[in-house]
Amino acid sequence: MSASESAAEPPPEQHGTPGPTPPPERDATPGPDPAADPSAPSPARGGPVTADRIMEIGMGFWPAKALLSAVELGLYPALSEGPRTAAELRDRIGLHPRAARDFLDALVALGLLARDGDGEDGRYANTPETARFLVPGSPGYLGGFLAMANARLYGFWGRLTDGLRTGRPQNEIRDRDTPAFDARHADPVRLRMFLQAMTGLTRSLLPALGEKFPWDRYKSVADIGSGEGSLLGHLVTVFPHLTGVGFDLPPVGGPFEEFTAAARISDRVRFVPGDFLRDSLPPADVLVFGHILHDWDRDTKLKLLAKAHDALPEGGAVIVYESLVDDARRTNAFGLLMSLNMLVETPGGFDFTAADCRRWLTETGFRSTSATPLYGPEGMVVGIK
């Protein structure tokens, strides 16, 4: 998943700029404001006032970097075949003896490792969560996204204060006026890392996207900024009557075809190369913008929605899914932090509320709109032509 900026600014990433991964079990519907919770301690009610929450947030980079380093070192796949001692893990993933036990036991204390026994004989193992989400090949694998966050976002967020003062991106384009995706798409390794990260980020949303939209009313779908094609793969598998189009920049075609061939859906989906800023969008009954609009300033958001309106038949639908900010801008901290991530990553991007998106859809000609929570802090807005 920040004020609008001039369209003359260089465009950022084309395929959806990544941010932190959504918490797996969080409800999409914004919860109550803690300040309004009558059970919460407060000075007005005579409850204790402590610095615990301030310190937990202020030092939150400690546990975050411990997890990201564990992913970088390959700790979780190293445990996929069974428990290991600290000495075995030192040899397997290259830990220094001074660091090993504190690092591993800190992950135990954080609930990111299990341990049976104490001392040198203690054996470390994956938890149910790390086995499901952090071992390559597992159904919910998120490690690719976290690897990208470690390699890119962790360092860029260290310059957040500069971004807040200047309004400028703090990523690869910080000191130059060229689009960040140019360098990324020219490097097959970086491109594949990005595409795999976006596949991991989207995976948790797929069941809800399938369940909360009436796909039985439509015959075709185009994913705008499709990446590897995971959304299309899910939809045409669950709904055999659907056919799909992945629309993305030309270098994405190879990874898309590899992914869809491995999923055995090549006969149901096809790749159309293009640039959604310059080219017309492919026609389909449903067009999907997933983690795309938040990359751009308001004028570009409206331009893309107007292009979607032009490409759709009468009665066709556009789906926008993002980490939607709650309308009161009080409770969905993840959505608001994602918008700050757009400040770090893009010249003009920002996240938005469902009300914002519904208004833009109306402005670009859609006759009816609706908003629906999906998974965690994610939600979708639908416009009908």
Query: From the CA atom positions of the chain, what is the Rg in Å?
Result: 22
Print the domain residue range for 333: 204-384
pLDDT grade, residue 32 (50/70/90)? very low
Residue 187 lies in a domain: no
Residue 258 reports pLDDT greater than 80:
yes
Instruction: Give the count of domains, the chain.
Output: 1
Give CA angle at 251 (250, 252), nearest 5°: 90
Residue 214 reports pLDDT greater than 50:
yes
20/145: higher pLDDT:
145
pLDDT tens for 352-378 read: 999 999 999 999 999 999 999 998 899
pLDDT tens for 306-316 read: 999 999 999 99
Residue 102's pLDDT is 97
Distance from C-alpha of 4 to C-alpha of 301, rounded to nearest angstrom: 10
Residue 348 lies in a domain: yes
Distance from C-alpha of 67 to C-alpha of 107, rounded to nearest angstrom: 7
Residue 222's pLDDT is 98
Distances (CA, A) of 154 to 19, 49, 331: 10, 31, 24
Residue 183's pLDDT is 60
Residue 86 reports pLDDT greater than 80:
yes
CATH number of the domain encompassing residue 357: 3.40.50.150
Please tell me which residue in 185, 234, 291, 294 is annotated as part of the active site: 294
Residue 60 reports pLDDT greater than 60:
yes
DSSP class of 378: -
Residue 74 lies in a domain: no
13/359: higher pLDDT:
359
Q: 275 — alpha (psi -120 to 50), left (phi > 0) or beta?
A: beta
Mean pLDDT over 235-249 rounds to: 96
Least confident of 37-46, 137-146, 175-184: 37-46
Residue 76's pLDDT is 98
Residue 184's pLDDT is 67
Residue 31 reports pLDDT greater than 80:
no
Residue 201's pLDDT is 80
Residue 318 reports pLDDT greater than 70:
yes
First to last CA, the chain: 25
Distance from C-alpha of 106 to C-alpha of 66, rounded to nearest angstrom: 8
| 96 is an active site residue | no
pLDDT grade, residue 27 (50/70/90)? very low
Residue 253 lies in a domain: yes
At a CB cut-off of 8 Å and minimum separation 6, what does 382 contact? 213, 317, 318, 319, 320, 369, 370, 371, 372
Q: Tell me what the pLDDT averaged over the chain comes to.
A: 87
Residue 34 reports pLDDT greater than 90:
no
Residue 176's pLDDT is 72
Residue 46's pLDDT is 65
pLDDT grade, residue 10 (50/70/90)? very low
pLDDT grade, residue 189 (50/70/90)? confident
Distance from C-alpha of 202 to C-alpha of 181, rounded to nearest angstrom: 20
Residue 59's pLDDT is 97
SS3 per-residue string spanning 93-146: HCCCHHHHHHHHHHHHHCCCCEEECCHHHCEEECCHHHHHHCCCCCCCCCHHHH
Residue 5 lies in a domain: no
- C-beta of residue 243 within 8 angstroms of C-beta of residue 268: yes
Residue 182's pLDDT is 64
Residue 52's pLDDT is 94
pLDDT grade, residue 178 (50/70/90)? low
Count of Cβ atoms closer than 10 Å to residue 359 Cβ? 13
pLDDT tens for 113-154 read: 999 999 989 999 999 999 999 999 888 899 988 999 999 899
Mean pLDDT over 180-185 rounds to: 64
Residue 78 lies in a domain: no
Residue 253 reports pLDDT greater than 90:
yes
Residue 323 lies in a domain: yes
